[in-house]
């Protein structure tokens, strides 16, 4: 109990000192896992200076995927999307940092890889919109919702990143 309190206190203290309180949900989709892009994608977020606070390899249930993509339920591709996301393991991650949601979206590139610039994840590794390797939250609010869907509170780790004083 004391460890949990200290961990939470440390997180809030760091937030107060650095102004860093934003988190985002990133998922390497089944095609990205199969193509062995997890390390490259993780490396890009680490090089940018973001802090990894949660990571797990999961075979997502259909129910979880339907809840995750709830806002797309009326789209004609919804069933196919859920099936694709259920076709193999997903690497679910939570990253923390200043403006991490906005910056991560830029790092991912456009949903349609044909519209993505070279240097973005989708611009470098994707060809087809139906196999676009990665998901990232599109707002702080959706990040909070997605993180709570994919991770229990005790799976989010508050730890002191010794490089943060060199970044912020």
Q: Which residues are catalytic?
A: 135
Mean pLDDT in runs of 10 for the chain (168 residues)? 46 50 96 98 97 98 97 95 97 97 98 96 95 97 98 94 89
111 annotated among ligand-binding-site residues: yes
132 is in an annotated binding site: yes
Give the integer Cα–Cα distance in Å for 102 and 143: 11
Please state the pTM of the whole predicted model: 0.86
Q: Is 15 annotated as a binding residue?
A: no
For the chain, the three-class secondary structure string (H helix, E strand, C coil) is CHHHHHHHHHHHHHHHHHCCCCEEEEEECHHHHHCCCHHHHHHHHHHHCCEEEEEEEECCCHHHHHHHCHHHCCCCCHHHHHHHHCCCCEEEEEEECCCHHHHHHHHHCCCCHHHCCECEHHHHHCCCHHHCCEEECCCHHHHHHHHHHHCCHHHCCCCCCCCHHHHC
The response to whether 122 counts as a known ligand-binding position is yes
Domains and CATH numbers, the chain: 21-166 (3.30.70.141)
The predicted pLDDT at position 145 comes to: 97
């Amino acid at each position: 109990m004391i460890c949990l309190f200290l961990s939470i206190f440390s997180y809030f203290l760091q937030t107060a000192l650095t102004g860093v309180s934003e988190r985002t949900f990133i998922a390497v989709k089944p095609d990205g896992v199969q193509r062995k892009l997890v390390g490259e994608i993780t490396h890009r977020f680490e090089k940018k200076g973001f802090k990894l606070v949660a990571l797990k390899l999961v075979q997502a249930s259909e129910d979880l995927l339907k809840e995750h993509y709830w806002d797309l339920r009326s789209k004609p591709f919804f069933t196919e999307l859920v099936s694709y996301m259920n076709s193999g393991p997903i690497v679910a991650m939570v990253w923390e940092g200043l403006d991490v949601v906005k910056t991560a979206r830029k790092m991912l590139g456009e949903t349609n890889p044909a519209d993505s610039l070279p240097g973005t994840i989708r611009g470098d590794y994707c060809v087809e919109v139906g196999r676009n390797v990665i998901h990232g939250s599109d707002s702080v609010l959706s990040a909070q919702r997605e993180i709570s869907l994919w991770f229990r509170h005790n799976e989010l780790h508050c730890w002191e990143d010794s490089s943060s004083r060199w970044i912020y």
